[in-house]
Amino acid sequence: MTVWIDSELYFYTVSGEIQALLEIRRYHGDSAAIRLRHSAASAAIAIDRAIVTTFEY
pLDDT digits (tens, 9 = 90+) for 5-46: 554 444 444 443 444 444 444 444 443 334 444 444 444 444
Contact criterion met (CB below 8 Å) for 51 and 26 = yes
Q: What per-residue confidence (pLDDT) applies to 37?
A: 47
Q: What per-residue confidence (pLDDT) applies to 26?
A: 43
Cα–Cα distance measured from residue 26 to residue 17, given in angstroms and rounded to the nearest whole number: 29
CA distances from 7 to 22, 54, 57 (A): 11, 11, 19
pTM: 0.15
Cα–Cα distance measured from residue 21 to residue 14, given in angstroms and rounded to the nearest whole number: 9
List the beta strands (DSSP E) in the chain: 2-5, 10-15, 18-23, 34-38, 42-47, 50-56
